[in-house]
Amino acid sequence: MTEGAAIESEALEDSIQELIDQMLDHLDWDLDVEVHGDDPETMRVELYGEDREILIRNRAEVLDVFQYLTNRIFGRELSDRRIVVDCEGFRARKEAELIEVAARVSERVRASGEEEELARMNPYERRIVHMAVAELEGVTTESEGDGVMKRVVIIPT
């Protein structure tokens, strides 16, 4: 990162931090926020505190809302980066789970020679699966379906 980009990134970190702080204030949720902009591809936002349960119930729909809205709001300033909002390692655990499922199903598809469909996933989850399968031999992926929630199909090659 150039010096100019680093300064810009820091200003952006502050803006993201301020917006989420204000949102949490209005919501009156007992959560704190930390923004880490040290990665060139992602801006990591970490939420933690007493009210974490609100964020991660119903397949972490509220965590996803924070992630989606902040990416919409700061899209222009982010240029090629994106914001990932996490809560006490929830996404990291979820990611590890998805990669494990992708590997297990890929193994089965390779053995049987027959494609398999995974559960409906949001774009973020699908990206993790596509990337995990791309690293494996003998299988490839496609997305199937309409709307935001599509299915990844693992196909033998």
Residues found near another protein in the complex (CB under 8 A)? 19, 22-23, 26-29, 51, 54, 61-62, 64-65, 68-69, 72-73, 147-148
∠ CA 121-122-127, nearest 5°, is 90
How many of the other CB atoms lie within 10 Å of CB of 7?
Answer: 11
Nearer to another protein, 70 or 106 (CB): 70
Nearest distance from residue 102's CB to another protein, in Å? Answer: 25
Nearer to another protein, 4 or 76 (CB): 76
Rounded Cα distance, 133 and 103, in Å? 7
Token output for 134: 């791309």
Nearer to another protein, 20 or 102 (CB): 20
Nearest distance from residue 32's CB to another protein, in Å? Answer: 17
Rounded Cα distance, 125 and 102, in Å? 11
Rounded Cα distance, 119 and 97, in Å? 13
Nearest distance from residue 72's CB to another protein, in Å? Answer: 6
Nearer to another protein, 123 or 138 (CB): 123
The phi, psi pair for 28, rounded to 5°, reads: 60, 40
Nearest distance from residue 76's CB to another protein, in Å? Answer: 11
Rounded Cα distance, 86 and 58, in Å? 15
Nearer to another protein, 62 or 129 (CB): 62
Looking at this protein, which amino acid is placed at residue 37? G
Nearest distance from residue 66's CB to another protein, in Å? Answer: 8
